[in-house]
Amino acid sequence: MDFAAIKGFKDILPAEIEPWQRLDRTVRAVFGAFGFREMKLPVMEWTELFSRSIGQDTDIVSKEMYTLHDSKGRGMTLRPEATASVCRAYIQNRLHQDGPVQKFFVIGPMFRHENPQKGRFRQFHQIDAEIFGDPGPRSDADLIVMLLHLLDSLSLSGLTLHLNTLGCPECRGGFRDALRSYLKDRSEGLCEDCTRRAGTNPLRVFDCKAEACRNLVLKAPTILDHVCSACRDHFQALQTLLRDAGIGFEINPRLVRGLDYYTRTAFEVQTGHSGAQNAVAGGGRYDGLVRQLGGGDQPAIGFAIGVERLIALMNEVAQPRTSVPDLYVAALGEEAARKAFALVAELRKAGNWVEMDYASRSLKAQLKHADRLGAGRVLILGDNELAMGKGLLRDMGSKTQEEIPLDGLVDRLTRMLGAEARIRADKDA
């Protein structure tokens, strides 16, 4: 039997990994500056956590979750999103006791049984950030500012911030009734999924990608006509804070989030580069979710970024750089190979990427191997060099070489390679 990756599950190969690593570094630097702390959470949770938080009538819960049952018949599900897991960890570990406002982020894989397409997989990755404990618009603005700063730090352009308010349970009921009535009169124009949604969760119709449904809701009632004064004030204050921070945005009254727990602020960052799948990141406020999951009355707001889509945009801006060794050590003879092995170990401990041949092949073969790896320099060690206490340092670009003393070699090479690495970093910047 020939094995291949499961449909919708993708290998990330060494030649593709550089932008992923760069993204990880940038996320940790930016989020750290905003006071966010990283969590590592299980990829599997009790199924009820997601059905209760996301909503039983959502497509994720009803169609897309990967669920299995343990020996006692209890449902366990690979996480389809991170917010519910973060809330569970926040409640279970009583993290509210660490301070009134807590900020966390998670980077990792999520799982949904969707139709795989460009930029969308069944195992995909998300960057997730959450703020707990503040009910006001300032935490909304702070989170959005951090998100846009991250995207700017990755040199991404052509992005637009879309804002909406989803109101609160008190004012959303009137909007839901008006929308349900509007859709009932136009049910023949809805797709099969939206016909079902119109009765159970009509707001989800705004999230449909079918062209007929998208056209039909263009004249539908909007939440902005139904929000209460408190929700309107919150939304206006958020807009003022973003303007004060120099951030542009578009009010999009038809923007909804696909999960049931969202209230008030909803936002999305969109790009014009990816066709119909144009959302790079999205999030919103979910003030009732912690209480709904058995915790206290803790307001919260968060966002998620689709990593695969973000990587694709990063690669449009700049092709991934291929990492190459700092140095290759070519050894000729048994004694030289032993000396080279110890030297390579010391250089690696000092933080250098150094390679050598395992098979003690000819110098020509080793130089060819070094060239194939892209090493800029090769240190040649043979019995003659050991006897003289010197090695030959070859520049693979200019094909020139110079003698270099073996005494103090690790420190000397580390300083040399470190200086070259800084020069390369300055050029890349």
Tens digit of pLDDT for each residue in 98-153? Answer: 999 999 999 999 999 988 777 679 999 999 999 999 999 999 999 999 999 999 99
| 44-54: pLDDT as tens digits | 999 999 988 88
Angstrom CA distances, 352 to 120, 339, 342, 356, 406, stand at 36, 17, 14, 13, 17
pLDDT at 95: 95
- Res. 272: pLDDT tops 60: yes
C-alpha span between 24 and 27 (Å, rounded) = 5
Give the pLDDT band (50/70/90) at residue 215: confident
Asked if the model's pLDDT at residue 274 lies above 60, the reply is: no
Mean pLDDT across the stretch 230-234? 94
Residue 236 has pLDDT above 60, yes or no: yes
Contacts of 209 (CB under 8 A, 6+ apart): 276
Q: Per residue in 349-364, pLDDT tens?
A: 888 899 999 888 999 9
The pLDDT of residue 276: 47
Report the pLDDT averaged over residues 196-209: 76
Query: Is the pLDDT assigned to residue 424 strictly greater than 70?
Result: no
pLDDT of 389 higher than 50: yes
Is 70 exceeded by the pLDDT of residue 260?
no
Looking at residue 38, what is its pLDDT?
97
**377: exposed, middle or buried (C-beta count within 10 Å: 0-12, 13-18, 19+)?**
buried
Q: Tokens for 266? A: 């909803």
- Backbone dihedral angles phi then psi of residue 112, each to the nearest 5 degrees: -145, 140
Mean pLDDT of the chain: 88
- pLDDT at residue 273 in the model: 59
Q: Is the pLDDT of residue 77 over 90?
A: yes
Q: In the structure, what pLDDT confidence band is assigned to residue 319 with cuts at 50, 70 and 90?
A: low
Handedness of CA 194, 197, 203, 204 (dihedral sign): negative
- Sign of the Cα torsion 253, 258, 261, 267 reads negative
Quote the tokens at residue 45: 């949770």
Residue 284 corresponds to which amino acid?
A: G
Residue whose C-alpha is closest to residue 79's, from 114, 46, 32 = 46
Which residue is associated with the tokens 């030289």?
Answer: 336
More confident position, 63 or 21: 21
How many residues are there in the chain? Answer: 429
CA dihedral 126, 130, 136, 140 (to 10 degrees): -30
Q: How confident is the model at residue 298 (pLDDT cuts 50, 70, 90)?
A: very high
User: Which tens digits make up the pLDDT trace of 150-199?
Assistant: 999 999 988 999 999 998 888 877 888 888 888 877 777 778 778 777 77
> What is the average pLDDT across 250-257?
87
pLDDT tens, residue by residue, 322-357? 778 889 999 999 999 999 999 999 999 888 899 999
Mean pLDDT to the nearest integer, 285-298: 91
For 46, 74, 164, the CA distances from 70, given in Å and listed in that order, are 10, 5, 41
Cβ–Cβ under 8 Å, residues 309 and 118: no
